[in-house]
Amino acid sequence: MNNKLACLVTALLAFWMLVGCSNNSTKDCDNVAGTWQLVVDVDDYECNGLGQRYKQVFEVSQNQCQLSIEGGTTGIISQGKITWTSPSTETDGGTLSYSSAYSEVNNKEITGAYDWQWSNDSFSCSGTVTAKGHILTEQQAANAKLGETAIQLEHPLLSPSENTVAHTFTVEAKNARQVYLAGEMSDWRSKVLVMQPSEADQWSITLYLKPGAWQYKFVIDGVWVADQQNPQSVPDGYGGVNSVFVIGEEDALLIAQPGIAHGSIVEAEFKSDSLNQASPYAVYLPPGYQTSKQDYPVLMLLHGYGQDYKQWIIDGKIQHLMDNMIANKSIEPFIVLMPSAGTSYYKGQHESFIMQELLPHVAEQYKVKAGPDYRAISGISMGGAGAFYLAHKYPKQFGLSLPLSGYFDLEMYPSFSWQNFTLDAELTLFCGEDDSISYPSNQRLVEQLNQQGVEFSYLTAEGGHTWRYWNSISEQVLKQVSSFFAR
The pLDDT of residue 1:
45
- b (16+ CB within 10 A) / e for 208-235: bbeebbbbbbbbbeeebebbeeeeebbb
Tell whether 177 and 102 lie within a shared domain. Answer: no
Tell whether 167 and 126 lie within a shared domain. Answer: no
CATH code of the domain containing 54: 2.40.160
Domain count along the chain: 3
Tell whether 270 and 313 lie within a shared domain. Answer: yes
pLDDT at position 23 over 80: no
Domain of residue 163, residue span? 156-247
The pLDDT of residue 8:
44
- Report the alpha-carbon distance of residue 392 to residue 423 in Å, rounded: 5
The pLDDT of residue 48:
63
- Report the alpha-carbon distance of residue 268 to residue 360 in Å, rounded: 15
- Report the alpha-carbon distance of residue 44 to residue 116 in Å, rounded: 9
What's the pTM value of the predicted model, to 2 decimals?
Answer: 0.75
**344 φ, ψ (degrees, to nearest 5):** -75, -15
Tell whether 110 and 216 lie within a shared domain. Answer: no
Tell whether 103 and 180 lie within a shared domain. Answer: no
**Sequence-separated (6 or more) residues with CB below 8 Å from residue 283:** 265, 266, 268, 335, 336, 337, 338, 362, 366
- Report the alpha-carbon distance of residue 86 to residue 65 in Å, rounded: 17
Over residues 304-317, the mean pLDDT reads 96
The per-residue pLDDT for range 229-284, each reduced to its tens digit, is 999 999 998 889 999 999 998 999 999 999 999 999 999 999 999 999 999 999 99
Q: Please, which residues bridge with residue 241 across strands?
A: 235
Tell whether 6 and 33 lie within a shared domain. Answer: yes
The pLDDT of residue 268:
98
Cα–Cα nearest to 379, from 430, 415, 329: 430
Looking at 180, 213, 247, the residue that finishes a domain is: 247
Cα–Cα nearest to 134, from 226, 58, 206: 58
pLDDT at position 16 over 80: no
The per-residue pLDDT for range 126-159, each reduced to its tens digit, is 888 888 889 999 999 999 999 888 877 677 898 9
Around Cβ 120, how many Cβ atoms within 10 Å? 12
Tell whether 294 and 431 lie within a shared domain. Answer: yes
The pLDDT of residue 482:
99
The pLDDT of residue 434:
86
Looking at 129, 150, 171, the residue that finishes a domain is: 150
Looking at 217, 232, 247, the residue that finishes a domain is: 247
Tell whether 69 and 129 lie within a shared domain. Answer: yes
Tell whether 347 and 471 lie within a shared domain. Answer: yes
Res. 15 pLDDT band, cuts 50 70 90 = very low
- Report the alpha-carbon distance of residue 438 to residue 41 in Å, rounded: 23
The per-residue pLDDT for range 407-459, each reduced to its tens digit, is 999 989 999 999 989 999 999 999 998 888 898 899 889 999 999 999 999 99
Res. 24 pLDDT band, cuts 50 70 90 = very low
The pLDDT of residue 20:
43
The pLDDT of residue 331:
99
- Report the alpha-carbon distance of residue 438 to residue 448 in Å, rounded: 15
CATH code of the domain containing 308: 3.40.50.1820
Contact status, residue 22 vs residue 30, Cβ threshold 8 Å:
yes
Tell whether 369 and 430 lie within a shared domain. Answer: yes
Cα-based distances in Å from 312 to 51, 75, 184, 282, 482: 32, 56, 17, 10, 18
Side chain identity, residue 192: V
CATH code of the domain containing 237: 2.60.40.10
Tell whether 473 and 352 lie within a shared domain. Answer: yes
Tell whether 341 and 385 lie within a shared domain. Answer: yes
Burial class (CB in 10 A: 0-12, 13-18, 19+), 268: middle
Contact status, residue 183 vs residue 216, Cβ threshold 8 Å:
yes
The pLDDT of residue 28:
61
The pLDDT of residue 44:
80
Res. 116 pLDDT band, cuts 50 70 90 = confident
- Report the alpha-carbon distance of residue 56 to residue 53 in Å, rounded: 10
- b (16+ CB within 10 A) / e for 2-26: bbebbbbbbebbbbbbbbbbeeeee
